[in-house]
Structure 1
Amino acid sequence: MEQASKIAELNDRLRCHHIGGRVMITQGIQVLDQNAIAEIIAAVSAFSDFTPDNDPWGEHDCAAMDVGEHRIIFKIDAYDREMTFASPDPADPAVTLRVLTIMLADEY
């Protein structure tokens, strides 16, 4: 499988099913009411509108969207297993720890 496709598959697995890494929400998301938080997390999980404009490398690692009255950005980063450096091979889950961060756009 092509490397970008494999990375996209692993990123989608984390984003859609919260499997294969950690999911983090920022303080800006944390202070919202529980319904808004649930709606935002569900919207990020359901997001599929990747295009060459918002996903030029085909890795499904970042996008922005509107959820209710909030502009949201999600970003997936691939670290080495110790979370010290970038992953040596983001297509290999054995050497990669993914972190999905969900934030308000104005926190970026």
Structure 2
Amino acid sequence: MNSRAKHHDPLAEIRQRARTEPEFSRRLHSDPHAVIEQYMGQTDSEVEIRVVQDTPDTLYLHLPSPPPEGEITDQDLTYAQGGTTTLCSALIVTVISAISVSAHQTTEP
């Protein structure tokens, strides 16, 4: 199995084709549901799909929707499973360093 098949990202492929193929880009803008469905299977017709493109003077920042009430985010799940934050990792390194320095100082003659 090639690496492209293992890591297939339909949205990345859609973005790439839209950047390099003008006709595909026009189709994506005019009928995004059909294009998304072609790559990802059935889409929810009740969900609005907006296709926007950055320009030299406009940058669009995509923010994902918040999780539904009562669901936890992937990041929260990682923490619950014993994952760490950057701050937590820094604190652990600081504590280990302090212990090492203290142990080294107490064992010197």
Q: Same fold (TM over 0.5)?
A: no
TM-score by length of 1: 0.25
Higher strand content, 1 or 2: 1
Higher helix content, 1 or 2: 2
Structure number with bigger Rg = 2
TM-score by length of 2: 0.25
